[in-house]
Amino acid sequence: MEFKALQKASIFPEEFEVDNLSDSELLYITETAAQDLIFTLPAEIYATDSNIADIIYKAIRTFASQQKGNAFDNYTLEQAEALVEPIKHLFKVYGRKEVFAMN
């Protein structure tokens, strides 16, 4: 879905397929999609300790196993944690769990 949105925004040509992407482009799109997914989760996940980084890591590794390139060969749990930590920090800085009760 992320790739299709970028095609619609004319960032990638419509005739491109995922296989046409460079490793760095595929990794960027995948991490962007993961961040989009993370933001759709309930705020309570960020207010408490959770294994969301591990889940994201495993999801990306599963996606990687279906790809022809080697963009994810060296993808680590630490990289997944780096995606999650700024979002967790954002939720912690901008209020307590009650502020996001309507999330």
**Cα(26)–Cα(67) distance, integer angstroms:** 10
pLDDT at 44: 74
**Cα(54)–Cα(80) distance, integer angstroms:** 7
Higher pLDDT, 55 or 67: 55
**Cα(100)–Cα(42) distance, integer angstroms:** 8
pLDDT at 54: 93
- Helix residue spans in the chain (DSSP H): 2-8, 23-40, 44-47, 52-64, 77-93
pLDDT at 58: 94
Radius of gyration of the chain (CA): 16
Q: Which two tokens stand for residue 20?
A: 């046409």
Q: How confident is the model at residue 57 (pLDDT cuts 50, 70, 90)?
A: very high
Distance of CA 72 to the CA centre of its chain: 13
Residue with tokens 């990794």, as numbered in its chain:
27
pLDDT at 20: 84
| This prediction's pTM | 0.75
pLDDT at 76: 93
pLDDT at 96: 54
Span 2-32, pLDDT tens digits:
888 888 998 888 888 888 888 888 898 999 9
- Residue 42, judged by CB atoms within 10 A of its CB (0-12, 13-18, 19+), counts as exposed
